[in-house]
Amino acid sequence: MSAHNVNTDSPDEIILQEEEPQGPVQSGRSIIIKVLISLGLGLLVYLIPMPESLPPAGHKFLGLVVAVIALWVTEAIPIGITALCAASGLILFGIQSANKAWSPFSSPAVMFVLMIIMFGVVLNEVGLANRIMSWVFKLAGRGVMRLSFVMAFSCTMLATFLHDATVTVIMLFALVPVLRAMGITPAKSNNLSKFFIILIPLAASAGGFGTLLGGGRNPLAVEILTKYTNGAIKVGFLEYMIIQFPLAIFTAVATWLVVYMIFRPKEKELPAAVAVEQMPPMRGKELAVCVIFGLAFLLWGFSDLTGWHVSVVAALALAGFCGPKFVSFKTICDKFPWESWIVFGAGVSMGQAMLDSGAGKFLAEQFLPLLQGQHPFFVYYGMGFFGSFLSSMMSNSAAVALTLPVTLPMAEMLNMSPQAVALLAPITTSFIMLVIGCPPTIIAYSTGYFSQTEFIKVAVPWCLVLLLLSVISVLVYWPMIGFY
């Protein structure tokens, strides 16, 4: 059976899983034990005496977030349910008001991600996902090493200009039919499927810092730097790209290497049966959807001129898809991975609570001063690790907004370059260690091909290696171009 046939015959299998996606079925006893351990860890953190500099709400938040992370990692209960409990816990323990706890679920960023994931359903429904994979096979062939390298490199480079969630959705929707054509379903996931499904979101996430278009954290870091230096230091679009983009080339290669080493598949080449046959010329719904996609990307690129939020453009594009019935909105809703969107909303809610409760500021004040007096390499690595740690639990923009007000004064005290410290933040907050860290990884997790434990197995070393690579690149490349 070809990938094309799978897509045509049963496209709903691509998103809606008939099998239990989160690994083997757990016994009731196992679930109870995991839940009790998670709650016990949260209670233990809450009972530990904390300094007066940590507000009571922040103390409660730290206890709650430890319990929630433990529940997410152990998968004692579905992560979507844990996400809803996390927001409810913010209200129950008086950390946030009900309005503040739930409003992030409808924030512009969360709504944009919702619509971006819907784009993926549209791509699949009209057959474009299959065509994209056909192009990938033509470019890279069926050899696993070359194919995966091309996919990883493409994801990282595309993510420097496009939203990493968009890149992830396009590539995942193109790849999953190929895996299913090979008989590899979530219940039968092996190293080959885990390798590809985890590689795509990590590669996309690794490139988001390359240009100012790659993510909100990039212009935010530049803005904070300009304000901190009272306008003395400004970084323009082209200058930012010269400073950051070359580093994305290294992160692309390193991402491929790390994931390949950990989930090294035994297959050297994909079977000839999955190769997509010669595609007919694009016409009808495919062509119309392509044109609408093109217009959407164009409008996103000119958003600074139009002043339109990216979510507005996404909504107009969906209207363009569904209005002429290229895809029915009911089909999109039926095949939408709602759990991933709920988890992302909870992540944004928890991140906002970390800021509002003072827990984030407390952690920054406790950890970052430990770096004073250390070698510049360790200072940069430590700052980067803290940014990655925060970014694993909140949006990377929030992590940048939280760390820079602490690290920039530190840089001044340590006679370090403030521009180097500022532009390091969007790089390191691209590397996350938990599935909940960013939309691409949550979207990939929703396919059901890997567990959270398996993700952590690769994400932690991936994060540490890319931090190391980035710090070395910063210390070598930036002085070469006279950045600092």
Task: Please give the full DSSP string across 388-428, using - where no structure is assigned.
Answer: HHHHTTS-HHHHHHHHHHHHHHHHHHTT--HHHHHHHHHHH
The dihedral built from the CA positions of residue 281, 286, 289 and 290, taken in this order, carries a sign that is: negative
Distances (CA, A) of 99 to 86, 90, 137, 306, 368: 14, 11, 48, 31, 32
Cα dihedral 143→147→150→151 (10° resolution): -170
Res. 341 pLDDT band, cuts 50 70 90? confident
Residue 90 and residue 101: Cα distance in Å, rounded? 6
Res. 459 pLDDT band, cuts 50 70 90? very high
**φ/ψ of residue 446, rounded to 5:** -65, -15
Res. 159 pLDDT band, cuts 50 70 90? confident
Res. 261 pLDDT band, cuts 50 70 90? very high
pTM: 0.75
Give the CA diameter of the chain. 68
Span 396-410, pLDDT tens digits: 766 777 677 777 777
Average pLDDT in the chain = 82
Residue 269 β-bridge partners: 143
Q: Lowest-confidence range among 79-93, 296-310, 438-452?
A: 296-310
**φ/ψ of residue 143, rounded to 5:** -65, 130
The dihedral built from the CA positions of residue 14, 391, 194 and 131, taken in this order, carries a sign that is: positive
Residue with tokens 């990884």: 441
Would the pLDDT of 11 be above 70? no
Residue 20 and residue 33: Cα distance in Å, rounded? 21
Structure tokens at 144: 């696993």
Residue 143 β-bridge partners: 269
CA 34, 40, 44 angle in degrees (round to 5)? 150
Span 58-102, pLDDT tens digits: 999 999 988 988 887 787 888 788 889 999 999 999 999 999 999
Q: Give the pLDDT of residue 59.
A: 92
Span 223-240, pLDDT tens digits: 778 877 877 777 777 888
- How many CB atoms sit inside 10 A of residue 208's CB? 31
Number of Cα atoms under 13 Å in the Cβ half of residue 412: 8
